[in-house]
């Protein structure tokens, strides 16, 4: 329907060149004949934006007219990457634009390459939010995102000559952002600090006054669906001072004082916190969380009020998804509005709240569970702290009723953790304030229910707790980043990509083609060209020459001990040492391998940064060693980003997902790499269930064994020399300075020698054995390509369309809206 016969491509191309030239002259005020690629990108983006705006307006209008129930996705991170290519593909205009700009003397690739990533996120959680927006629009669901418009996104990663990670700011807005619309007319006043006083009139009401007030101003980002008119909205808030500056101070000659308030207001949305899985209890971060949830709720409430329904019907029109605990303050904030401003009784307010919110947990690592010090909360948000105490009191009373006299349980379940200082447990607040709670893969959701929220399952009943296995958008992660594979699939299946991209289970029809030699050849040839594309990229950006006849092995994700990049690099060293001891004849049988790492470390995460340094310095030695360099190469690619992932993933033969069992909630790059992968964690088990165990390489201990092993490490430690001589040897070589810096790596190596919390010494031998199996399997190229095809064919489940439909049906209760 979308690609209807009425579309006349020639006319489209002509109107594209017209609109392009028009934007060059009138929006950019430049001349078409001496335009550079950046100018061409801007003109093309503005011209595409015109298309999006028409659809975006119509979508908004229809939602307003029909007033369906809507869902709002609150996420502190949206890792969007680039927009132009995605928009062109979703609009079905890529070919027309390519031709149009070619006529004007540009290449579409060069133009696309000018765009800076919108990198308003750290890793998995932020990219998941971006995939869900794409799927919501593509599935025609009325879903809006709410986030913050950080002036600086995730830092740019540089690697110093010594191999250390350095961080530079990410000024992504410097060249202007054609994809956002400032909405200076949409703004809200947000209060901090001040005094809260209960009215004491028999109602639960209180007043909150004084303190600091800042403005939240809306910036809207269009989210086009794939082959549909539906174009949803991502609303990002920017902070601004309520008054430009203090005129009294200015007039009194105190110029610095005059801009101080203005600076502190602007600081709220100035930078994305670069921490993944760790909190530091920083006041500015808490300010960000409240600023964003308060502005979003005010906006949602205003829209609801326009429908003219009684406030008790709020949950019939609004579902709010909390992406991890970061937006949990929305719960006491909605209570505050309902009680203090709408004059609702407590029980009605709680009823509304607990039917509106849904909470997704993304990690069970204890250090990643957010807690805020009570004194900080009391100071910054005095009214919310009162409300949290009230919620807690009533909650604990009902627990006491169900489990009389169980004091331990009350202590465990309290929203307030005792200690100095006391802390508010945000995951518990999110849990009791929500209609439903879910994890992000079967294994992870089970762990949520049996570990961190066990008491809550016992108290509230199991039916409140569910699972929605993560997904990824096949538009970006197949069609856009691997266009040749996409067209091979369409031509082989004789199905337009408009169909299979929106119903990824159709890929199953590829299975019979595993037996088709011509198809397999083409499949392998595309992989080869993708490898060359990556090699070219590395050559031009870093100056390294890569052996494209080797197996490409990637580990691409945030640096974290639980993800075990260390296991991988120690495995590489083991391989290197083994190669060094081989005869020429033995070496002939070895399959060359290139190992790529990419990923950022939190700036204060010392051990993660040391891992990067080790990788870089091992690479330096290995890549120069004439004995081995044809058989083993190692690269750390700096500044991992969505755009770099789009080049790396289609080129990979194998991707490593080797976290300690039970620690990775889901993982999503495992889905993107849609070929052979490793270990028993997160969604990997479900991937193996789908694609078949023969197409993945598992190793190591399983989740139930982890606790026992850790107990052994603590109370009956065995020296590594005894337990795992191969690993001991590798550690000793590093200690001895084989890769330079003799003592520098000791703190990293000691995490394994002492405690070994992530069980490297337990899993090392079976890890090496699994890698050998991978080598073995790769030698049989026919079978290897079959594995690759089978894996892709069975990836249907991991489309984010499937995931978002589960949320829509089983959580939010919203329906698709056809935009005419």
Q: Which residues bind ligand 26W (CB under 6 A)?
A: 123-125, 128, 275-279, 324, 362-363, 368, 370, 440, 470, 664-668, 682
CA distance 543 to 468: 43
436 is catalytic: no
**What angle, 0 to 180 degrees and rounded to 10, lies between the N-to-C axes of helices 684-691 and 442-450?**
140
The answer to whether 715 touches 756, Cβ cutoff 8 Å, is no
Nearest CA among 382, 386, 187, 371 for reference residue 285: 371
309 is catalytic: no
Helices (H), 104-183: 108-112, 124-138
Residue 648 CB, nearest approach to ligand 26W (Å): 18
The smaller minimum CB distance to ligand 26W, of residues 154 and 749, is found at 154
What three-state secondary structure class fits 146?
Answer: strand
The smaller minimum CB distance to ligand 26W, of residues 611 and 684, is found at 684
Residue 282 CB, nearest approach to ligand 26W (Å): 10
Residue 451 burial (CB < 10 Å; 0-12/13-18/19+)? exposed
Residue 209 CB, nearest approach to ligand 26W (Å): 30
User: Running DSSP on this structure, what letter comes out for residue 435?
Assistant: S
Residue 425 CB, nearest approach to ligand 26W (Å): 13
Distance from chain centroid for Cα 393: 35
Residue 285 CB, nearest approach to ligand 26W (Å): 8
Of the residues 277, 287, 558, 802, which is catalytic? 558
Of the residues 116, 326, 336, 362, which is catalytic? 362
Helix (H) or strand (E) run with residue 238 in it = strand 231-241
Residue 812 CB, nearest approach to ligand 26W (Å): 18
69 is catalytic: no
CA distance 752 to 764: 11
CA distance 497 to 73: 28
Q: Which residue is nearest to ligand 26W (CB)?
A: 124
The smaller minimum CB distance to ligand 26W, of residues 566 and 628, is found at 566
Parallel, antiparallel, or unpaired for β 423-425 and 416-417? antiparallel
Token readout for 498 is 């408009």
The answer to whether 661 touches 702, Cβ cutoff 8 Å, is yes
The smaller minimum CB distance to ligand 26W, of residues 299 and 686, is found at 686
CA distance 688 to 399: 40
Nearest CA among 327, 240, 335, 234 for reference residue 288: 327
Residue 602 CB, nearest approach to ligand 26W (Å): 9
The smaller minimum CB distance to ligand 26W, of residues 276 and 340, is found at 276
The smaller minimum CB distance to ligand 26W, of residues 145 and 178, is found at 145
CA distance 684 to 700: 13
Residue 681 CB, nearest approach to ligand 26W (Å): 9
The smaller minimum CB distance to ligand 26W, of residues 41 and 359, is found at 359
Of the residues 116, 435, 557, 575, which is catalytic? 557
The answer to whether 373 touches 336, Cβ cutoff 8 Å, is no
Token readout for 458 is 């016992």
The smaller minimum CB distance to ligand 26W, of residues 433 and 682, is found at 682
Parallel, antiparallel, or unpaired for β 357-360 and 436-439? parallel
Look-up of token digits 């899985």: 277
The smaller minimum CB distance to ligand 26W, of residues 369 and 546, is found at 369
The smaller minimum CB distance to ligand 26W, of residues 82 and 657, is found at 657
Helix (H) or strand (E) run with residue 190 in it = strand 180-192
Please give the biggest Cα pair distance in the chain.
91
Where do the DSSP E strands lie in 82-177?
Answer: 118-120, 143-148, 156-159, 165-168
Look-up of token digits 């007039």: 251
557 is catalytic: yes
668 is catalytic: yes
CA distance 530 to 653: 11
The smaller minimum CB distance to ligand 26W, of residues 276 and 455, is found at 276
- Cα distances from 289 to residues 195, 269, 276, 295, 340, in angstroms, run 20, 10, 16, 10, 21
Of the residues 94, 575, 672, 802, which is catalytic? 672
Residue 799 CB, nearest approach to ligand 26W (Å): 15
Residue 125 CB, nearest approach to ligand 26W (Å): 3
The answer to whether 72 touches 300, Cβ cutoff 8 Å, is yes
The answer to whether 643 touches 82, Cβ cutoff 8 Å, is yes
Residue 127 CB, nearest approach to ligand 26W (Å): 8
Residue 283 CB, nearest approach to ligand 26W (Å): 14
CA distance 228 to 203: 50
Question: Nearest-5° angle of CA 649, CA 654, CA 657?
Answer: 90
CA distance 666 to 678: 13
Of the residues 497, 563, 677, 790, which is catalytic? 563
Token readout for 484 is 């040749």
CA distance 519 to 98: 28
The smaller minimum CB distance to ligand 26W, of residues 652 and 659, is found at 659
Of the residues 325, 668, 791, 792, which is catalytic? 668
Q: Which residues are catalytic?
A: 362, 557-558, 563, 668, 672
């Amino acid at each position: 329907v979308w690609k209807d016969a009425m579309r006349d491509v020639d006319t489209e191309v002509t109107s594209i060149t017209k609109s392009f030239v028009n934007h060059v002259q009138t929006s950019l005020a430049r001349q078409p004949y001496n335009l550079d690629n950046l100018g061409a990108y801007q003109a093309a983006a503005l011209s595409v934006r015109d298309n999006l705006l028409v659809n975006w307006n119509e979508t908004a209008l229809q939602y307003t007219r029909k007033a369906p129930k809507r869902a709002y996705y609150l996420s502190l991170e949206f890792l969007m990457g680039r927009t132009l290519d995605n928009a062109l593909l979703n609009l079905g205009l890529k070919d027309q634009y390519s031709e149009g700009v070619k006529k004007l003397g540009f290449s579409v690739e060069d133009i696309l390459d000018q765009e800076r990533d919108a990198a308003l996120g750290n890793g998995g959680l932020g990219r998941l939010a971006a995939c869900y927006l794409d799927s919501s629009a593509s599935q025609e669901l009325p879903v809006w995102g709410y986030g913050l418009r950080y002036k600086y996104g995730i830092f740019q990663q540089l690697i110093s000559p010594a191999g250390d990670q350095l961080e530079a700011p990410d000024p992504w807005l410097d060249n202007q952002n054609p994809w956002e619309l400032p909405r200076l007319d949409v703004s809200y006043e947000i209060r901090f600090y001040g005094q809260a006083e209960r009215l004491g009139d028999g109602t639960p009401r209180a007043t909150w006054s004084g303190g600091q007030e800042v403005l939240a101003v809306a910036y809207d980002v269009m989210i086009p669906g794939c082959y549909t008119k539906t174009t949803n909205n991502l609303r990002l808030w920017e902070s601004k001072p309520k008054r430009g500056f203090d005129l009294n101070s200015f007039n009194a000659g105190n110029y610095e004082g005059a801009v101080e308030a203005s600076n502190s207001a602007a600081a709220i949305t100035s930078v994305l916190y670069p921490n993944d899985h760790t909190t530091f209890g920083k006041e500015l971060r808490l300010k960000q969380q409240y600023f964003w949830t308060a502005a979003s709720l005010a906006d949602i409430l205003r829209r609801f009020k326009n429908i003219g329904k009684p406030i008790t019907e709020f949950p019939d029109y609004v579902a709010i998804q909390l992406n991890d605990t970061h937006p949990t303050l929305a719960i006491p904030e909605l209570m505050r509005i309902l009680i203090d401003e709408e004059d609702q009784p407590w029980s009605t307010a709680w009823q509304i709240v607990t039917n509106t919110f849904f909470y997704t947990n993304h990690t069970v690592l204890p250090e990643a569970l957010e807690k805020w010090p009570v004194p900080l909360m009391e100071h910054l948000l005095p009214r919310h702290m009162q409300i949290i105490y009230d919620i807690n009191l009533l909650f604990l009373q009902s627990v006491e009723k169900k489990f009389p006299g169980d004091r331990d349980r009350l202590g465990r379940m309290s929203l307030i953790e005792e200690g100095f200082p006391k802390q508010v447990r945000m995951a518990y607040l999110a849990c009791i304030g929500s209609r439903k709670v879910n994890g992000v893969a079967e294994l992870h959701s089970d762990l949520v229910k049996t570990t961190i929220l066990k008491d809550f399952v016992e108290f509230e009943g199991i039916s409140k707790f569910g699972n929605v296995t993560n997904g990824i958008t096949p538009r970006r992660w197949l069609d856009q980043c691997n266009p040749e594979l996409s067209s091979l699939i369409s031509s082989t299946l004789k199905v337009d990509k408009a169909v299979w991209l929106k119903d990824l289970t159709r890929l199953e029809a590829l299975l019979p083609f595993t037996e088709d030699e011509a198809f397999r050849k083409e499949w392998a040839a595309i992989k080869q060209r993708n490898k060359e594309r990556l090699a070219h990229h590395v050559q031009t950006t870093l100056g390294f020459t890569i052996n494209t006849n080797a197996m490409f092995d990637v580990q691409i994700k945030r640096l974290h001990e639980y993800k075990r990049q260390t296991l991988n690099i120690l495995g590489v060293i083991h391989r290197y040492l083994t190669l060094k001891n081989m005869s020429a004849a033995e070496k002939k049988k070895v399959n060359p391998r290139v190992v790529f790492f990419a990923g950022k470390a939190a700036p204060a995460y010392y051990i993660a940064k040391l891992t990067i340094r080790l990788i870089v310095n091992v690479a330096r030695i290995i890549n120069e060693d004439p004995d081995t360099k044809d058989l083993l190469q190692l690269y750390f690619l700096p500044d991992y980003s969505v755009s770099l992932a789009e080049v790396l993933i289609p080129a990979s033969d194998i991707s490593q997902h080797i976290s300690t069992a039970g620690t990775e909630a889901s993982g999503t790059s495992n889905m993107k790499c849609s070929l052979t992968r490793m270990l028993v964690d997160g969604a990997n088990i479900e991937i193996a269930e789908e694609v078949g165990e023969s197409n993945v390489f598992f190793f190591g201990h399983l989740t139930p064994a982890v606790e026992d092993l850790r107990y052994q490490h603590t109370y009956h430690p065995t020296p590594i020399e005894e337990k795992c001589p191969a690993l001991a040897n590798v550690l000793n070589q590093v200690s001895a300075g084989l890769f330079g810096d003799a003592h520098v790596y000791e703190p990293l190596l000691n995490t394994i020698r002492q405690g070994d919390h992530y069980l490297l010494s337990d899993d090392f031998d079976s890890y090496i054995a699994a890698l050998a199996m991978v080598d073995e399997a790769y030698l049989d190229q026919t079978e290897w390509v079959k594995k690759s095809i089978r894996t892709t064919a069975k990836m249907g489940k991991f489309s984010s369309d499937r995931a978002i439909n589960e949320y829509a049906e089983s959580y939010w209760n919203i329906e698709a809206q056809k935009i005419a």
